[in-house]
């Protein structure tokens, strides 16, 4: 079974530029998550999708971050414009369904450096 | 905010020895799950073990076991017979409501 795929793996941009990350979850997984992991910290949830609907985006900085999952499969996360403090690893995860008992499977992450 | 705290930023263990990683959490939910995830350097995060809060019996997975103290809101991970491949960041996490909340992590070093 293929795991969660993410691209690109690394991205370097200058502040005020825009950037987009892509995630393909495990086949059949209805729930998709985006996390931000700042160096030395645990991941922090940005947004959770159930199929193509948003379940929770309370911690997404909506003035600069946006995410979509139009067909209920792949997802993109965009930052526009980027700030220095956005430097982090962006992790995508998926689970079969939403629920506290569900194991989340993580992708390898996209490491973003904003200069 | 409901938090998950890992008080040990770094731990080291001799190969083949046993090490315990600490985690405390808070929650107002009666129904929740607890997880330990492992994140090797430059590799993706994988689940090590999980515990349902309503179960009194501590979860075990081969060399990994937990000590779940519900009243104290404590959830420690014991790694027995440590191996070089156990070297990684370990994150404790609590799932309640719709959200998985992570602790700050403990870096485990294994000495040959």
CB A76 within 8 A of CB A68: yes
Summary mean pLDDT of chain A: 93
Residues of chain A neighbouring B102 (CB-CB closer than 8 A): 42-44
Say whether A40 sits in a helix, a strand or coil.
Answer: coil
Question: Burial of A59 by CB count in 10 Å (0-12 exposed, 13-18 middle, 19+ buried)?
Answer: middle
Contact at CB, A56 and B96, closer than 8 angstroms = no
Note the pLDDT of residue A101.
80
CA distance linking residue A68 with residue B76, whole number of Å: 37
Note the pLDDT of residue B14.
97
Query: Residue B11's beta-bridge partner residues?
Result: B108
Q: What residue in B sits closest to A36 (Cα-Cα)?
A: B102
What are the residues of chain A with a beta carbon less than 8 Å away from any beta carbon of chain B? 3-4, 33, 40-45, 48, 55-56, 91, 98, 100-109
Q: What is the mean pLDDT of residues A81-105?
A: 91
User: Which of A42, A41, A25 is CA-nearest to residue A104?
Assistant: A25
Q: Looking at the partner chain, which of A56, A91, A106 has a beta carbon nearest the beta carbon of B98?
A: A56
Residue A1 pLDDT grade (very low, low, confident, very high; cuts 50, 70, 90): low
pLDDT of A52 strictly over 90 = no
Backbone angles phi, psi at A85, to 5 degrees: -70, -5
Tens-digit pLDDT profile for residues B6-62 = 999 999 999 999 999 999 999 888 889 999 999 998 788 999 999 999 988 999 999
pLDDT of B1 strictly over 80 = no
């Amino acid at each position: 079974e293929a795991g969660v795929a993410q691209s690109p793996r690394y991205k370097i941009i200058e502040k005020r530029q825009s950037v987009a990350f892509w995630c393909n979850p495990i086949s059949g997984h209805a729930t998709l998550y985006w996390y931000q992991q700042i160096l030395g910290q645990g991941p922090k949830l940005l947004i959770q999708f159930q199929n193509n609907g948003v379940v929770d985006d309370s911690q997404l900085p909506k003035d600069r971050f946006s995410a979509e999952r139009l067909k209920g499969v792949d997802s993109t996360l965009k930052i526009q414009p980027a700030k220095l403090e956005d430097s982090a690893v962006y992790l995508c995860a998926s689970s079969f369904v939403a629920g506290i008992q569900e194991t989340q499977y993580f992708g390898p992450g996209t490491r973003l450096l904003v200069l | 905010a409901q938090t998950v705290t890992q008080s040990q930023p770094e731990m080291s263990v001799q190969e083949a020895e046993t090490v315990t990683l600490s985690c405390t959490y808070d929650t107002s939910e009666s129904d929740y799950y607890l997880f330990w995830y492992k994140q090797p350097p430059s590799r993706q995060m994988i689940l090590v073990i999980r515990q349902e809060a309503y179960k009194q019996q501590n979860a075990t997975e081969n060399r990994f076991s937990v000590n779940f103290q519900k009243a104290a809101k404590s959830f420690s991970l014991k790694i027995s017979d440590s191996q070089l491949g156990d070297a990684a960041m370990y994150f404790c996490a609590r799932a309640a409501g719709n959200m998985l909340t992570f602790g700050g992590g403990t870096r485990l070093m294994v000495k040959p």
